Amino acid sequence: MTTRATAKITKRTVDGSMPARARYTVFDSEIRGFGLRVFPTGKKSWVFEYKSGAGGRRAATKRITIGRADEFTPDEARKIADRFRSMVKIGQDPQADKASERSAVSVRELAEQFLIKHVKPKRKGSTFLYYQDILNRIVLPAIGSRKAKDISRAQIAKIHLDWSHTPFQANRTMAVVASMYSFGAKNGLVPEGWNPALRIEKYVESRRERFLSDDELERIGSAIREAETVGTPWNIDPAKNTKHVPRTIQSTVIGEHAAAALRLLLFTGARVGEVLNLKWSHVDFGRGLLLLPDSKTGRKTIVLNGPALDVLVKLTKVGTFVIAGDGAAGKSEKPRSDLKRPWMMVRKRAGLDGLRLHDLRHNFASFGVGGGMGLPIIGKLLGHTQASTTERYAHLDADPLRRASNAIASTIASAMGEGPSTRPKPL
């Protein structure tokens, strides 16, 4: 490759540099190292050559391509070259920085590594699916193609704002993104100390507990008994195409195992996943316990009360799992996937639209706390590993408050000369 010296490179210089048999470079007289590279094919590109490190004759000469001559004017390319020259003066390497920029991972690539290398081996399967759903459904459609290191706090805050209609979902998304960037920083995928999801103010989340009255519990009980025996009645919608639906069958039976699952949720306060994945080998009838090898909080023991034991004793054993799947016996070797359909039927029949399955767990806790059993006991029954988790039910524990109120009022009444046995006297 040959070199041709010239004065300040202009558009005329670019147009007048004709292709030769070998490629050559025309260097600018103003910016040392800045030049126009001309190829035999006629292609022309802007380059900047420099010596990295301390410089000197022995230092290797490096070349970085700025871009094609038809993409940048001489003045535009010269400004970029001047910036590269300033970087070299302070010890930086423009070529290395450019290579680092090209190799920087995108948010999508960061998310993939986060899920595979961190979440999957270190978290439960349900947590992996939950994180994966948030990233695929919310985060990646918004910023997935961008470089992870270039994401600003404003971009993450916009995602948070876009989901403000569901505060719980918006806040959990920020938690997942923060965890992902923490993983990225520890593994050198993003700059250390940079996490765009931090210091974004969370939305206030209204408590979603739903507690049932005695009347509502009676309606649920009646709906479950009806659904497992004669079936839940339903009406054919004339607006829908139901020509293949037999007119003599207008009710649906949910089956004894689905009914048993709903009762166990009501009687034990267990989580839905704990009931659906319960195996007969986990049931200790002798001591009245469910010995779960794994749950959301690890190994867990659930105390079986009388009603819960009665449900299990009467339930037909079909395969490995207590709550067998519907249909053929082959399904019994796999846990039932969910209770959505039977629960929707029972809930609608009981007139409790909006009541969630998880609310049955809250309801179990509310009856215990309201009965004066104390938060520590309820926490043990629910399998809470932290006392702060059970404290969400503290407002239901009226017994200590009632005792305190009685003590205070009794002291005041005694000082006033009044009390339970004191009759009002005329003034």
The whole-angstrom separation of Cα 148 and Cα 309 is 53
The whole-angstrom separation of Cα 314 and Cα 239 is 42
* Full pLDDT tens readout for the chain, 427 residues: 566 667 789 999 999 999 999 999 999 988 988 999 999 999 999 999 888 765 556 677 888 888 899 989 999 999 999 988 888 887 787 766 565 555 578 999 999 999 999 999 998 887 898 999 999 999 999 999 999 988 999 999 999 999 999 998 999 999 999 999 999 999 888 888 889 999 999 998 766 666 778 888 899 899 999 999 988 887 655 555 555 555 555 788 888 999 999 988 888 888 888 889 899 999 989 888 888 887 766 777 887 878 888 899 999 998 889 998 765 444 557 788 889 999 999 999 999 888 888 888 877 776 555 555 555 565 555 655 565 555 555 554 445 555 666 666 777 677 666 655 444 445 4
Name residues whose C-beta falls within 8 Å of residue 129's C-beta, 6 or more positions apart in sequence: none
Residue 127: helix, strand or coil by DSSP? helix
The whole-angstrom separation of Cα 67 and Cα 46 is 5
CB-CB contact of 48 with 9 (8 Å)? no
Count the residues in the chain. Answer: 427
The whole-angstrom separation of Cα 147 and Cα 101 is 9
Q: In terms of pTM, does the model score above 0.85?
A: no
CB-CB contact of 61 with 50 (8 Å)? yes
Burial letters 405-423, b for 16+ CB under 10 A, else e: eeeeeeeeeeeeeeeeeee
In degrees, rounded to 5, the angle at the alpha carbon of residue 54 between the alpha carbons of residues 51 and 58 is: 60
Q: What is the DSSP letter of 350?
A: T
The DSSP code sequence of 355-369 is --THHHHHHHHHHHH
119: tokens are 């979440």
The DSSP code sequence of 327-344 is SSGGGGGS-----HHHHH
List of domains in the chain: 2-103 (3.30.160.390), 107-186 (1.10.150), 214-399 (1.10.443.10)
